[in-house]
Structure 1
């Protein structure tokens, strides 16, 4: 009886040890946030949305941060087209009040958690303010933003 209890305890310890050796994995994917071809004669601001998806293998708390892109600044990001620049920014909220960045320079990060394995989507809200860019050239502008997932 003692041997079987010891064996059962050993098997249980082995299972606990084995389950703790599996690594938590998370991946991040994003859709392209596209403003299309810019036209400075547009009457309104130009807005667009994109999605960042986080998938994890088990329960986890995480933080999503975005780089400043070509401009090196969170207060005003810049897109480029053949040497011409166009100001824009990316936000956490549809009200454009919290700039999505790394938590520095007036920017914010997005925190998330999974109660179980799965995918969670986060919307990116982008805007091109037109009030000071009426002289910008028509065209397609681009920027490269790095997404960092910390868990």
Structure 2
């Protein structure tokens, strides 16, 4: 009986050792993740198209587009990033402008469907998206964000094709 108990103890002790080694390995993976782990993010977008604009109408035109952010890390337990937008042609985040030659049409893009938070770089009262993910190694993670656009009504503009280009800045 003593022999069985001793043998049983060794089996239990061996199991504990395997569990301890597994726990230490997990801790080393967590503790061994370098602060500057190699991470790569890219962005793509579908445009916000407002269609035809009637300068005699006071109605706003709302539409939406999207930004897709793809990130991949070689070693990462926490991948955090921000998505910011430039001011475009206007040079001012508070009032963006689409251009057609020398003519301009005011518009704005927002982070929310209520169109209350201007999507910018955090300056001048603007907001940006902060996001991330956990525990993805060598697997690309794609996240999609809606861009809510609005063109105010009653702008006295000439007929033309108006366009603006915003730069997406991802910081990680």
Report the TM-score when normalising by structure 1: 0.79
Q: What is the alpha-carbon distance in structure 2 between the residues aligned to residue 114 and residue 50 of structure 1?
A: 23
Q: What is the alpha-carbon distance in structure 2 between the residues aligned to residue 75 and residue 22 of structure 1?
A: 36
1:58-117, Cα deviation, whole Å (9 max, x unpaired): 441100100001111111111111211100001001111000000001111110112344
Check the 8 A contact 1:100/1:109 in 2, yes or no. Answer: yes
- Give the 3 Å change call, closer, same or farther, for CA 138–114 of structure 1 in structure 2: same
Q: What is the alpha-carbon distance in structure 2 between the residues aligned to residue 82 and residue 24 of structure 1?
A: 40
| Counterpart in the other structure of 1:148 | 169
Aligned length: 135
After TM superposition, list the pairs within 5 Å mapping 1:30-41 onto structure 2: 30-41=45-56
| Counterpart in the other structure of 1:129 | 152
Matched, 1:108 2:127: yes
Report the TM-score when normalising by structure 2: 0.70
Gapped regions of structure 2 (runs ≥ 5): 1-24
RMSD between superposed Cα atoms in Å: 2.3
SS of residue paired to 1:25: strand
SS of residue paired to 1:38: coil
| Counterpart in the other structure of 1:80 | 99
Report runs of 4+ in structure 1 exceeding 4 Å deviation: 19-22
Matched, 1:45 2:60: yes
Q: What is the alpha-carbon distance in structure 2 between the residues aligned to residue 77 and residue 24 of structure 1?
A: 32
Gapped regions of structure 1 (runs ≥ 5): 1-11
Q: What is the alpha-carbon distance in structure 2 between the residues aligned to residue 36 and residue 56 of structure 1?
A: 32
Max Rg structure: 2
SS of residue paired to 1:57: strand
